[in-house]
């Protein structure tokens, strides 16, 4: 337990962290990778270069300081991060390295303002917070390994099938190379894929949502090709490009066991509404497919936004599922439909999802809402659902990449690129 004095010192740093938090975490990652380059094997390099990871860490540090006397308040965030850590293979022995580097970064950025008293308080607080993560992750590692079909770390999977779903999205059907059983997963969860790309100094790990329902003899991931993303003038999306262009049927990929807390609540009996943008439909397809089988009388609405039909993945699969159940309604919103699509009316709305249209297609806002997609899209959907009167607890979402802020103005996110897991 932390002393009252330590708690008060940590709380006194909250205003400083609000101003300098991102500068501290940027310096932290610079120092971490300089002194411990092997850790580059665990991190998404694109998120580092785009500043997403330092921002996410700064938010987490700020929250820890703000609620240092009520750490139970941030347990949901701890569990969300712990899922990522377990899927990446973060180990307890790495936490002291992180703690030492974080303190050094605080001192480096704040200079004389980081007094010995402040640094000592943060050292004590970090020890307590780190132990919370270690304990939560230890339980996750144990559960992952000991469940039926489970495993520790990474396991070899063979690409059984590779299916082009759209101009930019391809699905990979993956089966265990050892022929063993598959671990169960919750609809909405993801797996980490670890690749050693020829010519790259470090391994690359990315998380991809499982895009089919549990209980199948395979895992399916549906990956968006991201070659258009530019970071400091250089193209990113190395992993997705490699999967699309180099990985063939019969090749082997290394996967961690399924993880993630963005999951379908199958005990809820209310109508379910799924709203996706772009490749954000992948976890929602898993949820909807599962729900249609387990609760056929539960009303489902599936709304998907895409630029046009050429980049719209899994449309036929969703329509076939809806065709078998009068309880499922699907709607397509195309930002820039082609002339042929306009003439044949193959979509329900042109442009962007807006409040009047949502009010028309939804029979009632009394439902649980799941949404996923690019950050600007999710900010818009979150705002629209709030305007509809949907309670916070009934708006459930997931970021592809480090967690962000859905309360920021939509226009502030206009230039943000959607990051595929």
Strands (E), 248-360: 252-256, 272-277, 300-306, 328-334, 349-350
Q: How many Cβ atoms from other residues are within 10 Å of residue 133's Cβ?
A: 18
Residue 260 in marked binding region: no
The Cα–Cα gap between 204 and 193 comes to: 8
In which region does residue 278 sit, left (phi positive, over 0), alpha (psi from -120 to 50) or beta (all else)? left
Query: Do 123 and 192 lie in a common domain?
Result: no
Domain limit, last residue, from 121, 146, 171: 146
Domain limit, last residue, from 222, 256, 290: 256
Residue 176 in marked binding region: no
Please state the domain count of the chain: 3
Residue 283 in marked binding region: yes
For residue 16, how far is the Cα from the chain centroid? 29
The Cα–Cα gap between 125 and 18 comes to: 18
In a domain, 217, yes or no: yes
Query: Do 279 and 367 lie in a common domain?
Result: yes
Query: Do 234 and 291 lie in a common domain?
Result: no
In a domain, 420, yes or no: no
Query: Do 66 and 112 lie in a common domain?
Result: yes
Residue 154 in marked binding region: no
Closest among 340, 276, 289, 292 to 317, alpha carbons compared:
289
Helix or strand or coil: residue 148? coil
Which run of H or E residues covers position 396?
strand 395-398
- Quick one: pLDDT at residue 389? 94
Residue 144 in marked binding region: no
- Quick one: pLDDT at residue 420? 31
Residue that is written with structure tokens 């609809």 in the block: 187
Query: Do 134 and 11 lie in a common domain?
Result: yes
CB 60 within 8 A of CB 408: no
In a domain, 130, yes or no: yes
Full-model pTM: 0.90
Residue 346 in marked binding region: no
Report the CATH number at residue 74.
1.10.490.10
Query: Do 92 and 205 lie in a common domain?
Result: no
Choice among 29, 62, 126, 137 that is catalytic? 137
Residue 359 in marked binding region: no
Query: Do 34 and 117 lie in a common domain?
Result: yes
Closest among 329, 324, 381, 391 to 358, alpha carbons compared:
381
Query: Do 280 and 389 lie in a common domain?
Result: yes
CB 380 within 8 A of CB 407: no
Residue 400 in marked binding region: yes
Query: Do 250 and 332 lie in a common domain?
Result: no
Query: Do 329 and 355 lie in a common domain?
Result: yes
Report the CATH number at residue 281.
3.40.50.80
In a domain, 342, yes or no: yes
Report the CATH number at residue 229.
2.40.30.10
Question: Catalytic: 137?
Answer: yes
In which region does residue 248 sit, left (phi positive, over 0), alpha (psi from -120 to 50) or beta (all else)? beta
Domain limit, last residue, from 225, 256, 287: 256
Residue that is written with structure tokens 């019969």 in the block: 250
- Quick one: pLDDT at residue 74? 85
The residue range of the domain holding 60 is: 4-146
Vertex 231: Cα angle to 29 and 251 (nearest 5):
90
Residue 235 in marked binding region: no
Residues 292-308: tens digit of each pLDDT:
999 999 999 999 999 99
Burial class (CB in 10 A: 0-12, 13-18, 19+), 393: exposed
Question: Catalytic: 95?
Answer: yes
Query: Do 10 and 113 lie in a common domain?
Result: yes
Residue 402 in marked binding region: yes
Choice among 95, 141, 219, 347 that is catalytic? 95
Strands (E), 131-256: 154-164, 169-176, 190-195, 204-209, 219-224, 230-231, 234-235, 252-256
Residues 204-214: tens digit of each pLDDT:
999 999 999 99
CB 374 within 8 A of CB 398: no
Using the Cα atoms of residue 406, residue 409, residue 410 and residue 412 in order, give the sign of their dihedral.
Answer: negative
Query: Do 359 and 399 lie in a common domain?
Result: yes
Q: Which residues of the chain have pLDDT under 70?
A: 45-52, 228-236, 401-405, 407-421
In a domain, 19, yes or no: yes
In a domain, 293, yes or no: yes
The Cα–Cα gap between 276 and 267 comes to: 22
Which run of H or E residues covers position 76?
helix 75-88
């Amino acid at each position: 337990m932390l002393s009252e004095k330590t708690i008060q010192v940590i709380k006194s740093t909250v205003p400083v962290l609000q101003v300098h938090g991102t500068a501290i975490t940027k310096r932290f990652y610079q120092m971490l990778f300089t002194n411990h380059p092997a850790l580059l094997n665990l991190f998404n390099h694109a998120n580092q270069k785009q500043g997403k990871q330092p921002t996410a860490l700064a938010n987490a540090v700020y929250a820890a300081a703000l609620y240092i006397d009520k750490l139970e308040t941030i347990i949901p965030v701890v569990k969300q991060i712990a899922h990522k850590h377990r899927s990446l293979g973060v180990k307890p022995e790495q936490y002291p390295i992180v703690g030492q580097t974080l303190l050094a970064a605080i001192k480096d950025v704040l200079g004389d303002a980081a007094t010995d008293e402040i640094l000592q308080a943060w050292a004590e607080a970090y020890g307590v917070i780190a132990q919370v993560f270690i304990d939560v992750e230890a339980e996750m590692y144990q559960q992952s390994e000991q469940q039926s079909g489970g495993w520790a770390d990474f396991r070899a999977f063979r690409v059984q099938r590779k299916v082009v779903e759209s101009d930019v999205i391809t699905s990979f059907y993956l089966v265990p190379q050892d022929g063993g059983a598959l671990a169960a997963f919750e609809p909405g969860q993801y797996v980490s894929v670890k690749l050693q790309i020829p010519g790259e100094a470090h391994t690359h790990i990315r998380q991809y949502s499982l895009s089919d329902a549990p209980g199948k003899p395979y895992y399916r991931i549906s990956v968006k090709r991201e070659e258009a993303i530019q970071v400091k003038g250089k193209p990113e999306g190395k992993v997705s490009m490699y999967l699309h262009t180099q990985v063939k049927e019969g090749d082997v990929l290394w996967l961690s066991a399924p993880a993630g807390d963005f999951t379908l609540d199958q005990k809820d009996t209310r109508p379910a509404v799924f709203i996706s943008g772009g490749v954000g439909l992948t976890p929602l397809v898993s949820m909807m497919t599962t729900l249609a089988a387990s609760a056929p009388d539960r009303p489902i609405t599936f709304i998907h936004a895409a630029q046009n039909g050429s980049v719209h993945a899994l449309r036929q699969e969703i329509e076939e599922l809806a065709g078998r159940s009068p309880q499922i309604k699907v709607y397509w919103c195309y930002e820039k439909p082609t002339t042929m699509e306009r003439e044949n009316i193959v979509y329900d709305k042109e442009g962007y999802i807006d409040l009047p249209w949502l009010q028309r297609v939804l029979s009632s806002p009394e439902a649980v809402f799941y949404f996923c997609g690019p950050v600007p899209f999710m900010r818009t959907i979150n705002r629209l659902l709030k305007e509809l009167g949907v309670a916070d607890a009934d708006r459930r979402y997931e970021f592809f990449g480090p967690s962000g802020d859905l309360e920021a103005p939509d226009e502030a996110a206009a230039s943000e690129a959607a990051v595929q897991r």
